[in-house]
Amino acid sequence: MPVNGLLLTLTEDEKLAQDALLVVAGREDIELGERTGRWQPVVVETEGTRQSHEVHEWLQSVEGVLMVDVVFSSVSEPGEKVKSSDQEANQKAGERSRETDAELPSE
């Protein structure tokens, strides 16, 4: 199930930007974050990668949205635990530590 963090760059025309956000907010698969100036973070959660691409393309077509940047992307199967890079690094470090301990001669 893809989850994407996107950053929308909105037009400087505030009326058009507000209209664009109303259109975007109407979709159930998009969650709006806190807007800062012309930048609107959104989270998109879809059933598959094809739908994720379609939402991205749709956002690019919304009048008032000038650019759509991907700032985060995760694709995982339902029920699959997603590990952060820190968790993976800690797990690998633990495995190396256990391997090193196993190689040490016992006293």
Which domains are assigned to the chain?
A: 3-79 (3.30.70.920)
Nearest Cα residue to 10 out of 30, 47, 35, 43: 35
How many Å from the N-terminal Cα to the C-terminal Cα in the chain? 51
* pLDDT tens per residue, range 11-38: 999 999 999 999 999 999 999 999 999 9
Nearest Cα residue to 56 out of 66, 41, 70: 70
Give the ranges where the chain is alpha helix by DSSP (H): 14-25, 49-61, 85-103
How large is the average pLDDT for residues 53-60? 98
How large is the average pLDDT for residues 33-47? 97
Per-residue pLDDT, 1: 86
- Residue found under tokens 């749709």: 58
Per-residue pLDDT, 76: 74
* pLDDT tens per residue, range 57-92: 999 999 999 999 999 999 876 565 555 555 555 565
Return the ∠ at Cα 92 (arms to 90 and 97), rounded to 5°: 95
Asked if 59 and 48 touch (Cβ cutoff 8 Å), the reply is no
Per-residue pLDDT, 81: 58
Concatenating the DSSP letter of every residue in 10-24 gives EPS-HHHHHHHHHHH
106 pLDDT tier (thresholds 50, 70, 90): low
98 pLDDT tier (thresholds 50, 70, 90): low
Predicted confidence (pLDDT) at residue 40 exceeds the cutoff of 80: yes
